[in-house]
Amino acid sequence: MNNDKLYSCVAHMEAAAQRRIPGFARDYLVNGISRGVSVRKNRDSLDSVELMPRYLQEADRPSLRCHFLGKEYNAPFGVAPMGLSGLVWPNSERILAAAAKAQGIPYTLSTVATISLEEARKVAGENAWFQLYTPQEPEVRNDILRRCQEAGYETVMVTVDVPFKTRRDHDIRNGLSVPPRFDLRTLWQMMTHPEWALRMLRVGVPQFVNLKPYHDAGQSSNVGRSIRESTKYIEERMGLHITRERFEEIRGQWPGKLLVKGVLDTEDAKAYMSLGADGLIVSNHGGRQLDAAPSTVSVLPHIRAAVGADVPLIADGGVRTGLDIARMLALGADFVLMGRPFLYAVAAMGSQGGEHVMGILKAELQSTMGQLGCPTLRELPGCLVSK
């Protein structure tokens, strides 16, 4: 069967991905925090959003092109930052960065990615965005921002929803770390996923390359030592609470577009804008930080009302189809990010997965707009059925 038939939507790719990756990587990718309530809430609240079709309106060729943050994109969605993507599927960051460039959508590289920010910028070109987790030393943070500027990034998002060390039960049980702490169970998981294991052998053990220059063994040629130092560095020195003062410092250091990722509260939203943000990402981190967090869908309209029509707003969390993208735009977002769907696609289909899933999401969004009688993205809010 050809790929178009085999993987005609994200759900098909998700099912294949779950078979093709070892259990510890699957747990890391798929699960949320604690009991997974906020992951389910993201999904359920999207399902409850209704859009009204208007059959007398014409939308024969709905246009997905959009102008966002000073740039033209072929569609109003992009790849969310995902740390350790290279552990889920070897080379996935390169595959997704190249696919985003080819498809004309943004690709966001995480600080804790397994390829360097310089390489990601080369591969994704102007479509590369960078996500910042702040190290404790301001000099290190400033150096990362300097490297972003030198590499040619124009947009940086600072993630504010990890103010404390994250406790994910599955990852603790699996000993998830870089490198994975192998025991009989994880070794068995790797042996029973030979394609993943062979590719991992070929690409090499994933490392937090962006942080390598900042820890003692950064220049070490001993890979094992370098990885251990990197892990220690992250455990001890990363993940700082972004206070008002720290946010102002980051704003002072970064001359390009600065977005705030992880906003759920309307007062926070207004405060970040008054502190100089250029836009906000309404997000509960895909249900991975606080299980009692509200879903994006439930807060997005309130945040739009609070900040006004002109503030660039991005939304993410649970989006799996072009219809879901239309739902987020109808609720007030200007742009949408997705995380897991892109890694499902790469784990299912390898190097073809990135472009394939992006093409499917575009086709689904176009078909949704055609069905609604909505020729442009701007008109989607008019389709929302208010409750």
Ligand X SMILES: Cc1cc2nc3c(=O)[nH]c(=O)nc-3n(C[C@H](O)[C@H](O)[C@H](O)COP(=O)(O)O)c2cc1C
Report the b/e string of 218-248 with b at 16+ CB within 10 A.
eeeeeeeebbbbbbebbeeebbbebeeebbe
* CA 374 to the chain's CA centroid: 27
Query: In the bound complex, what is the minimum distance in angstroms from residue 296's beta carbon to ligand X?
Result: 9
- Part of the chain binding ligand X (CB under 6 A), chosen from 19-27, 269-277, 283-291, 357-365: 283-291
Q: Is 38 in the site for ligand X (CB under 6 A)?
A: no
Q: Which is nearer to ligand X, 339 or 354 (CB)?
A: 339
Q: Are 329 and 378 in contact (CB under 8 A)?
A: no
Q: Distance between CA 243 and CA 70 in Å, rounded?
A: 28
Q: Is 124 in the site for ligand X (CB under 6 A)?
A: no
- Part of the chain binding ligand X (CB under 6 A), chosen from 189-197, 225-233, 317-325, 376-384: 317-325
Q: Which is nearer to ligand X, 31 or 226 (CB)?
A: 31
Q: Is 83 in the site for ligand X (CB under 6 A)?
A: yes
Q: Is 340 in the site for ligand X (CB under 6 A)?
A: yes
Q: Are 307 and 275 in contact (CB under 8 A)?
A: no
Q: Which is nearer to ligand X, 131 or 321 (CB)?
A: 131
Q: Distance between CA 15 and CA 381 in Å, rounded?
A: 32
The single residue among 51, 66, 75, 80 that binds ligand X, judged by CB under 6 A, is: 80
Closest C-alpha to 175, from 163, 187, 165: 187
Q: Is 81 in the site for ligand X (CB under 6 A)?
A: yes
Q: Is 32 in the site for ligand X (CB under 6 A)?
A: no
Q: Is 285 in the site for ligand X (CB under 6 A)?
A: yes
Phi-psi region of 381 (alpha: psi -120 to 50; beta: other; left: phi over 0): alpha
The secondary structure element, H or E, covering residue 156 is: strand 155-159
Residues 56-75 touching ligand X, rule: CB under 6 A, are: none
Q: What is the DSSP string of 175-197?
A: T--SS----HHHHHHHHT-HHHH
Q: Is 354 in the site for ligand X (CB under 6 A)?
A: no
Query: In the bound complex, what is the minimum distance in angstroms from residue 308's beta carbon to ligand X?
Result: 24
Q: Is 321 in the site for ligand X (CB under 6 A)?
A: no
Q: Is 112 in the site for ligand X (CB under 6 A)?
A: yes
Q: Which is nearer to ligand X, 215 or 340 (CB)?
A: 340
Active site residues per annotation: 285
Torsion 214-220-225-226 (CA) sign? positive
Phi-psi region of 47 (alpha: psi -120 to 50; beta: other; left: phi over 0): alpha
Query: In the bound complex, what is the minimum distance in angstroms from residue 287's beta carbon to ligand X?
Result: 7
Binding mask 142-171 for ligand X (x = CB under 6 A): -----------------x------------
Closest C-alpha to 311, from 269, 267, 275, 256: 269
Q: Which is nearer to ligand X, 69 or 79 (CB)?
A: 79
129: Cβ–Cβ under 8 A, 6 or more apart, which residues? 78, 106, 107, 108, 109, 153, 155, 156, 157
CA-based max dimension of the chain? 67
Binding mask 210-249 for ligand X (x = CB under 6 A): ----------------------------------------
Q: Which is nearer to ligand X, 73 or 89 (CB)?
A: 89
Phi-psi region of 331 (alpha: psi -120 to 50; beta: other; left: phi over 0): alpha
Q: Is 318 in the site for ligand X (CB under 6 A)?
A: yes
Q: Is 206 in the site for ligand X (CB under 6 A)?
A: no
| Nearest-CB residue for ligand X | 339
Q: Is 207 in the site for ligand X (CB under 6 A)?
A: no
What Rg do the C-alpha atoms of the chain give, in angstroms? 20
Q: Is 297 in the site for ligand X (CB under 6 A)?
A: no
Q: Is 82 in the site for ligand X (CB under 6 A)?
A: yes
Q: Is 105 in the site for ligand X (CB under 6 A)?
A: no
- Residue 63 has φ and ψ, to the nearest 5°, of -100, 130
The contact set with ligand X (CB under 6 A) reads 28-29, 80-83, 110, 112, 131, 159, 261, 283, 285-286, 288, 316-319, 338-340
